[in-house]
């Protein structure tokens, strides 16, 4: 089975995060992720589908013990320098049947994947099987402007060039999938109020920061922001 991480680990996908705007988008993602991992300094982390390096690179730099699981060997190509320097490990394998024992890692992360996989509930169950302390995922929420994704897809594709159709989730769907795996919501952090495609179209980090700061001050990001970073922990 071909998983979406093959595309997100490609050079074509990496170009979506090049330049000042891309740096801004990743800066927000990294900052919020680090905040959500503050309870687990230096822990053993599995990044499922993380060949894109958006998490592996900053987490390894922060002292976490990072392993990346990719569905194909080529998914590890962007991480060659990191792995070659002994700062992370890469393992190829089925993302829904990972080649690791139960609770092999303290924390399991999975970004950029849930909206692009039909078996997303099975993926969440597998993430929970592998995690001892916590699971972090991201997803576009139907409480945000992403709810208009279908109507605005043509514009998004025009701006981003290589975007793909994606599923939008209700918060209840995500919570229920984790509850089925005996995990519960521990923290929820929306990233942006305004669509990421808008920031890419405007091409101004200063304007993007201003727009997002204004939305955050009004409480709009907390209520309607997307993508959402969601940390789940074992029940009980």
156 pLDDT above the threshold of 50: no
Please list, residue by residue across 54-89, b when 16 or more beta carbons sit within 10 angstroms of its beta carbon and e when fewer do: bbbbbbbeeebbbbbbbbeeebbebbeebbeeebbb
The pLDDT value given to residue 128: 98
The pLDDT value given to residue 81: 97
Q: Which of 31-40, 149-158, 166-175 has the least mean pLDDT?
A: 149-158
The pLDDT tens digits for 36-73 are: 999 999 999 999 999 999 999 999 999 999 999 999 99
The pLDDT value given to residue 31: 97
Q: Homologous superfamily of 5-140+167-192+228-234 in CATH? A: Vaccinia Virus protein VP39 (3.40.50.150)
Provide the whole-model pTM.
0.90
The pLDDT value given to residue 63: 97
CB 188 within 8 A of CB 229: yes
27 pLDDT above the threshold of 60: yes
């Amino acid at each position: 089975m071909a998983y979406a991480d093959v595309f997100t680990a490609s050079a074509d996908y990496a170009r979506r995060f090049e330049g000042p705007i891309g740096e801004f988008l990743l800066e927000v993602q990294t900052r919020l992720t680090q905040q959500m991992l503050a309870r687990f300094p230096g822990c053993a982390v599995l990044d499922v589908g993380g060949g894109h390096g958006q998490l592996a690179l900053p987490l390894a730099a922060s002292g976490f013990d990072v392993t990346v699981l990719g569905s194909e060997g080529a998914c590890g190509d962007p991480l060659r320098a990191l792995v070659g320097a002994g700062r992370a490990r890469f393992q190829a394998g089925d993302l829904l049947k990972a080649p690791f024992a139960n609770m092999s890692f303290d924390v399991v992360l999975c970004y950029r994947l849930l909206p692009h996989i039909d078996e997303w509930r099975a993926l969440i169950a597998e993430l929970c099987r592998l995690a001892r302390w916590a699971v972090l995922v991201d997803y576009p929420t139907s409480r945000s402007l992403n709810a208009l994704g279908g109507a605005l897809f043509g514009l998004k594709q025009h701006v981003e060039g290589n975007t793909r159709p994606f599923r939008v989730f209700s918060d209840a769907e995500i919570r229920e999938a984790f509850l089925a795996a005996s995990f519960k919501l521990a923290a929820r952090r929306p990233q942006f109020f305004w669509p990421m495609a808008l920031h890419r179209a405007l091409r101004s980090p200063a304007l993007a920061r201003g727009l997002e700061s204004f939305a955050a001050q009004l409480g709009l990001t907390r209520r309607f922001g997307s993508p959402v970073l969601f940390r789940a922990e074992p029940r009980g």
